[in-house]
Amino acid sequence: MASKRKANEAGSSNDLRADVLRVLGVLKVATADQIQRLASPHLTYRHTLKKTATLRKEARTASHRGAANDLRRHGLAVDGGRTKGGEEVRLLTLAGLAAAAIDLDREPEEMGGVPKSAGRSGASHPMTVNETVIALIRPKPDLDLVAGQPAEAVAAAQAAARAPDGIGTLTSYATEVALPVKGTWKNPAIGSARADVVVTAPEAGVPLLFIEVDNCTEEAVLIARKFDKYARFFQRKEKDTDGIEKPLWRTRWSAPDWEGYERVHPPVLLVFHQVGKRSAKTQMAKVAELTRHHWQGGWYERDGYHSYDGCIPIVATTLDLLREHGPAGPAFWRFGRDHREPLRDAIGNPRRDAAIARRRAEAREEQRRREVREAAEREARRPVCADCGRKFSDDRWEAVDQRDWSLPRQSHPRLCEDCQSRAVAAEQQAEADERKRREQERLRQEAEEQAAAQKVSGWFSRFRT
pLDDT in tens, 387-399: 999 999 998 888 8
Q: pLDDT value at position 28?
A: 92
Q: pLDDT value at position 449?
A: 87
3-state secondary structure of 284: helix
What share of the chain in percent tops pLDDT 70?
A: 93
The C-alpha angle with vertex 426 and arms to 423 and 427, in degrees rounded to 5, equals: 85
Q: pLDDT value at position 243?
A: 86
Closest to 29 in 3D by CA, of 71, 81, 91: 91
Q: Are 127 and 88 in contact (CB under 8 A)?
A: no
Model confidence pLDDT, tens digit, residues 263-290: 889 999 999 999 989 999 999 999 999 9
Over residues 177-203, the mean pLDDT reads 93
Residue 38 pLDDT level (bands cut at 50, 70, 90): very high
Beta strands 206-214 and 268-272 are parallel
Q: pLDDT value at position 357?
A: 86
Label residue 191 left, alpha or beta by phi (over 0 means left) and psi (-120 to 50 means alpha).
Answer: left
Q: Report how far residue 135's alpha carbon sits from residue 129's, in angstroms, rounded to the nearest whole number.
A: 10
What share of the chain in percent tops pLDDT 90?
A: 67
* Cα dist from 382 to 118, 372, 396, 452, whole Å: 82, 15, 10, 63
Q: Report how far residue 118's alpha carbon sits from residue 172's, in angstroms, rounded to the nearest whole number.
A: 23
Residue 138 pLDDT level (bands cut at 50, 70, 90): very high
Per-range mean pLDDT, top range of 39-53, 74-88, 324-338: 324-338
| DSSP letter assigned to residue 239 | E
Residue 461 pLDDT level (bands cut at 50, 70, 90): confident
Instruction: Give, for 29, the enclosing helix (H) or strand (E).
Output: strand 29-31
Mean pLDDT check: name the lowest of 110-124, 222-236, 280-294: 110-124
Q: pLDDT value at position 434?
A: 93
- With a cut of 60, say whether residue 6 has pLDDT above it: no
Q: pLDDT value at position 2?
A: 45
Tell me the residue type at 34: Q
Q: Are 31 and 89 in contact (CB under 8 A)?
A: yes
Residue positions counted in the chain:
465
Over residues 199-214, the mean pLDDT reads 96
Q: pLDDT value at position 409?
A: 78
3-state secondary structure of 226: helix
Q: Report how far residue 59's alpha carbon sits from residue 54's, in angstroms, rounded to the nearest whole number.
A: 9
| Close Cβ partners of 14 (under 8 Å, ≥ 6 residues apart) | none
- More confident position, 12 or 253: 253
Q: Are 171 and 151 in contact (CB under 8 A)?
A: no
Mean pLDDT check: name the lowest of 132-136, 235-239, 450-454: 450-454
Exposure string for 316-348, b = 16+ CB within 10 A, e = fewer: bbbbebbeebbbbbbbbbbbeeeebbbbebbbb
Q: pLDDT value at position 373?
A: 96
The DSSP-derived string for 174-198 is EEEEEE-SSB-SSSBPTT-EEEEEE
- With a cut of 80, say whether residue 459 has pLDDT above it: no
Q: Are 193 and 226 in contact (CB under 8 A)?
A: yes
- With a cut of 70, say whether residue 330 has pLDDT above it: yes
Over residues 372-379, the mean pLDDT reads 94
Q: Are 331 and 317 in contact (CB under 8 A)?
A: yes
Mean pLDDT check: name the lowest of 114-118, 155-159, 402-406: 114-118
- With a cut of 70, say whether residue 202 has pLDDT above it: yes
Q: Report how far residue 369's alpha carbon sits from residue 372's, in angstroms, rounded to the nearest whole number.
A: 5
Q: Report how far residue 154's alpha carbon sits from residue 160's, in angstroms, rounded to the nearest whole number.
A: 10
Q: pLDDT value at position 100?
A: 92
Q: pLDDT value at position 313?
A: 96
Residue 8 pLDDT level (bands cut at 50, 70, 90): low
| Nearest-10 crossing angle of helices 32-39, 14-27 | 110
Model confidence pLDDT, tens digit, residues 76-89: 999 888 888 888 99
Residue 1 pLDDT level (bands cut at 50, 70, 90): very low
- With a cut of 60, say whether residue 4 has pLDDT above it: no
Over residues 300-320, the mean pLDDT reads 89
Residue 255 pLDDT level (bands cut at 50, 70, 90): confident
Q: pLDDT value at position 406?
A: 66
